[in-house]
Amino acid sequence: MVVAEIEKQTEQPYGESEDLFALLSVAAPVCALIITTGALYLGRPVLLPLAIALILSVVFSPVATRLERYFGRLISAALVVLVVIAAISAIGYFLTIELTTVADQVAGYSDNIGNKLAALEKTAPPWLQHIKDAVSDVQRRMASTNPALRQPREVMAVPVPASLSDSLKPVVPIVNGVVQTLLIIMLLFFLLYSRKDLRDRFVRLAARGRIPIAAQAIETAGYTVGRYLLLFSLINLGYGIAVGTVAWFLGLPSAPLWGLVAFLLRFIPYVGAISSALLPALVAFALFPGWSKALEILCAFVIIDQVAAQLAEPFIIGHGIDVSPVALLISAMYWSWLWGIPGLLLATPLTACLKVAGDYIPPLGFLSILLGADRVLDDYHDFYRLLLELNPSGARDVAIRYCDKNGLDRTFDEVIQPALLLMGEERAEGHISDENQGLIIDTTHQLIAELGNRFINSRISPSVRVLGVLAPGELHFLGLMMLLELLRKEGVVATFTGENKSPDEICDLVKRFTPDFVFISCITADCLPATLELVAALRSISSRVTIIAGGEAALHHSTELINAGCSQICANPSEARRAIRSFILQRAKSRVPGAARLLRGYARENNWLSRN
């Protein structure tokens, strides 16, 4: 009869340490972020190769899984690693050779560059020249006040014998790079080879930490991220090929180089595509007379990027993983600050992994909220948010608009009940105060009656009388009120006895009201003994009244309630409403010949029998 989860666990008080608890709840995430950032920064020599290997393993896991059907796990992992090594080596070698060639070509056009810069200086607007003169004047004044800066003393260089450590300094970065590369290769191989075993170990480790994670969820999350990154890489590859073709068509030298640069830089969110256009535009500025070639290069890059972003990505990837653009930009800044250029290139894959982890791992759900794409919130979120903002009139307007558009049933199911469930969860976790909870309950109480009054139909004849009763000691009444309003909408005479009624008062109301049905809401297990006594007392008063119980406690102890005198135990409001409709039809059949057929037609018109 009543949705059992509504308002569940909303009775836990903060106690005397409310302010301290609220302060800790705010400070804990900030401290965790600071500690995590420090660990990532200090652990860069170890964590950066691990992150690269993890991202590559996620991207190529679908490929390794397909190859495993034909070659086995060992050979498939080795093949993927060899292909990755060959691709990265070819890219590095090609970039080194081509960039050296382009630099040599540009150096031969120094006269062209100088002439264009001189022309720019002549055509500069007066305000820009004034700024330049002002900066030069400030520099002269600073130099005149510090003559020592203008004429530094000559210091005789004393030859210092080179030590072994000084001689090895140029070699250290090379050795470090080789070691990290080998480490990434080995990690990638073992992550691909042992991916199933690592997944099972992670599930067992999470279970020990009381974190509910299903192995299927991890597999789905890995597949989602891998598919997204693989398709995103293919789109970037197509973007690079298109850019290289356009550069060749426009006569820019080293066209394959610009395609490769565009492919790599487009992994940097939003600014990568623009950055990939700047270098070829500068080369065109240096090599070709006039400005037309440089502008053509910029326009071509922008158009190709927009085609990839607005047409190719939605068609091939679909909605993807719904990462917010703002989150991607902030993530790019954060990872580039932590890990430099490698962190900038890894920003998009890392953000995608964190977002999907938040979707599938409940304790990391905050990542899904922080990194999720901007979207139209569900209506119950708007309703709940306005209540938390102490704006009951705004929440009322949201509910009324939704009710006028979608009807009373859907408003209760999709706005009111989810908001009450969310309130119960957040109150149980201590995220909202008693005042917030009281405002939500009071506003919802008034709103249920107001919404019900907008849809009351004429009463059926002969009328069906229903009395809604709270079990003695039961505090959750909003679900029962929603059920009664839905019954009133269908022409039933439904009355709520009120809160905090004793068994004697309830029995007296039943005697005076003489209902056909008595609905008893029993959600809390502590109220079960009193509910059993109440059912027995009601049954002793009248044997004709139909007693229906609902709620979590009633469902768990249905046999005891049936033995005490209940006619039926309903798991949800739909079952209770079906019981009313069945009673109406049976009574119509027994009283007036032909009335049942008319009543069935009336029921179909009002969509009574179409709901489950």
Q: Which fold has domain 379-450?
A: 1.10.1240
The predicted pLDDT at position 9 comes to 41
Question: Which 3 state secondary structure label does DSSP give 157?
Answer: coil
The predicted pLDDT at position 126 comes to 67
pLDDT band at 113 (very low <50, low <70, confident <90, very high): low
Give the pairing of strands 465-470 and 493-496. Answer: parallel
Rg (CA), the chain: 36
pLDDT band at 605 (very low <50, low <70, confident <90, very high): very low
CA proximity to 436, closest of 449, 451, 420, 450: 420
What does the alpha-carbon distance between residue 260 and residue 238 come to, in Å, rounded to a whole number? 10
The predicted pLDDT at position 19 comes to 53
CA proximity to 420, closest of 10, 59, 79: 10
Task: Give yes or no for residue 136 having a pLDDT over 60.
Answer: yes
3-state secondary structure string, 333-390? HHHHHHHHHHHHHHHHHHHHHHHHHHHHCHHHHHHHHHHECCCCCCHHHHHHHHHHCC
The predicted pLDDT at position 181 comes to 79
- Domain boundaries defined on the chain: 44-106+179-366, 379-450, 457-605
pTM over 0.75: no
More confident residue, 491 or 591: 491
Summarised one tens digit per residue, pLDDT across range 59-104 is 788 788 888 888 888 888 888 889 888 888 888 788 788 777 777 7
What does the alpha-carbon distance between residue 374 and residue 324 come to, in Å, rounded to a whole number? 6
Question: Which 3 state secondary structure label does DSSP give 521?
Answer: strand
Cis peptide before 462 (omega within 30 of 0): yes
What does the alpha-carbon distance between residue 573 and residue 576 come to, in Å, rounded to a whole number? 5
Q: Where are the alpha helices (DSSP H) in 43-109?
A: 44-107
Task: Give yes or no for residue 274 having a pLDDT over 60.
Answer: yes
pLDDT band at 8 (very low <50, low <70, confident <90, very high): very low
The kind and range of the H/E element at 519 are strand 517-521
E strands present in 69-196: none
Q: What share of the chain is helix, strand, coil (3-state, %, to 5)?
A: 75, 5, 20
The predicted pLDDT at position 608 comes to 39
Question: Which 3 state secondary structure label does DSSP give 549?
Answer: strand
Q: What counts of helices (H) and strands (E) characterise the chain?
A: 27, 5
What does the alpha-carbon distance between residue 487 and residue 159 come to, in Å, rounded to a whole number? 99
What does the alpha-carbon distance between residue 525 and residue 173 come to, in Å, rounded to a whole number? 68
Task: Give yes or no for residue 116 having a pLDDT over 80.
Answer: no
The predicted pLDDT at position 169 comes to 63
Domain covering 457-605 assigned CATH 3.40.50.280 in the classification: yes
Summarised one tens digit per residue, pLDDT across range 392-443 is 888 888 888 888 888 888 888 888 888 888 888 777 777 777 777 888 888 8
Write phi, then psi, for 2 (nearest 5 degrees).
-115, 135
The predicted pLDDT at position 13 comes to 43
CA proximity to 419, closest of 376, 471, 380, 372: 380
Please provide the average confidence, as pLDDT, over all residues in the chain: 75
How large a percentage of the chain has pLDDT more than 90? Answer: 0
Summarised one tens digit per residue, pLDDT across range 178-220 is 777 788 888 888 888 887 777 767 666 666 655 555 555 666 6
Q: 487 and 580 in contact (C-beta within 8 Å)?
A: yes
Most confident of 166-175, 193-202, 223-232, 502-511: 502-511
